[in-house]
Amino acid sequence: MAVVISIDAGTTGVRSFAVDEQGKPQGWAYREFTQFFPQPGWVEHDATEIWEAVQATLQDLLTNHLPAGTAVAAIGITNQRETVVAWDRTTGKPLHRAIVWQDRRTASDCERLVEAGHLETVRRLSGLVLDPYFSGTKMAWLLREGGVENSTSLALGTIDDWLLWNLTGGVDGGVHATDPSNASRTMLYDIAGRQWSAELSEILKVPLSVLGEVMPSSARFGTVRAPIGGGALAGVPISGILGDQQAALFGQACVKPGMVKNTYGTGSFILMNVGASCPEPTDGLLTTVAWDLGRNGGFAYALEGAVFVTGAAIQWLRDGLQIIESAADIGPLAASVASSDGVFVVPAFTGLGSPYWDPYARGTIVGITRGTGRAQIARAVVESIAYQVRDVCDAMAKTANTTVAELRVDGGAAVMDLLLQLQADQLGVPVCRPVVTESTALGAAFAAGLAEGVWASTDEVLSSWQEEHRFEPSGPRELADVGHNDWKRAVARSQGWARP
């Protein structure tokens, strides 16, 4: 039996995940890595620690979770997308801590670019908004203030690129490349022209020479040369790269225009497949590349809504307020009360993403009374996740001039029945949880396996998707709307709080 391994390098940890030729999970290994918060609004990672976590989880997977002698047909990579690594290709060392997608240090830079009249060009070419969420201004900051000097040995890239380079040999001929799904998150990629943009490079002051080659998402990028697993992976092709949310869209079988998925992770990311034609920019949402499967299935775009904090709010209840001991406690505690009794939590810890795009918003709790307890606050956090996803889905339906027929969901919080029922009630459509909720890892594995012939076509890949549970809307629609309207009042109070 051959397996395909997916390396899922997320925001808080790395998972190495193996699936067989039927798309069934065969084992996984996970390791968290350190989160650094050097200043308010700044979030960083140690890129070397991420690479070490990749090596450790691959070793663990091979040694402890797969039968001895299991053949590995291909490796796929999926990753937190906008996080930026600068490294020296001569020494192999990172030149600064990785700046994470959540980081807001370039908010004022984005404002200056808007004031200089660049927003329309950025929207037209990249499909993005001028927000510190994206990679371009992070790269510019590293070159301007981060002590990173432009040179022939400098590499700037997203996490997929950093891992690919190390896996394929590093200083000894490592491949410096990415795919369109990740490139389209940098604010330096022309999504209609499908290439790095000289015009955006000039606006952001990031030289294109330091960026990697953009290759199809499903293609052979290189082969493993790093000494992992006692050489057990030597020569295995690395044949798929997808940004985590596009990988989840693919893993959820959303291959037809109009299909929508949401991943409940550190944040929540709602994507709608809009087909092979690049749509016009739209307020409140992003236009992004879904994937380039090349000869294996073609090119697709997506509309995206990015919610910065959902699962991270549950971690805050656990680590910051210590209201719960583990993330798994949130569901039972929130379900122990029938409502939040008018309490609303707006978890704008790092600003608000879609559809508000306010980097100066900050977290807010409103509606507290003397009777408010742990359970009401916990339920308000769970409700905030459902409200934020509704905000995005409403904007998508309006933009695409269509209705969202159903929402396919995955990610850590998708195990919470209360959340998914609240989500169905807010959207007024079914919410579907698949049998395999690790859709991000699954999508990257599928992309890699397609390139190497493990699966002959997208139809063969996607026939493996199975529904585990469907949550139908319940209760009066008017009641859901009242809650959502009060939510929007709470959001208004959080906006602009940290503006200088």
Amino acid at 112: R
| Helices and strands (DSSP H and E) totals, the chain | 15, 23
Mean pLDDT (whole number) for 372-386: 96
Three-state DSSP at 151 gives coil
Please say if the pLDDT value at position 153 is more than 90: yes
Q: Which residues of 376-409 are buried (b: 16+ CB within 10 A; e: fewer)?
A: bbbbbbbbbbbbbbbbbbbbbbebbeeebebbbb
Query: How far lies 414's CA from each of 303, 331, 407, in Å?
Result: 21, 11, 12
Three-state DSSP at 290 gives strand
Mean pLDDT (whole number) for 258-277: 90
Output the CA torsion sign for 48, 52, 53, 54. positive
Give pLDDT tens digits for 208-238. 999 999 999 999 999 999 988 778 899 999 9
Residues 244 and 8 sit within 8 Å (Cβ to Cβ): yes
Three-state DSSP at 357 gives coil
DSSP state of 231: G
Q: Average pLDDT over the chain, rounded to whole? A: 93
Residues 286 and 306 sit within 8 Å (Cβ to Cβ): yes
Give pLDDT tens digits for 477-496. 999 999 999 999 999 999 99
Closest residue by Cα to residue 200 from 283, 274, 139, 282: 139
Q: Which two tokens stand for residue 402?
A: 């269509």
How many CB atoms lie under 10 A from the CB of residue 70? 18
Q: What is the pLDDT of residue 427?
A: 95
Residues 390 and 484 sit within 8 Å (Cβ to Cβ): yes
Give the C-alpha separation, 353 to 347, whole Å: 11
Q: Which two tokens stand for residue 314?
A: 């549950």
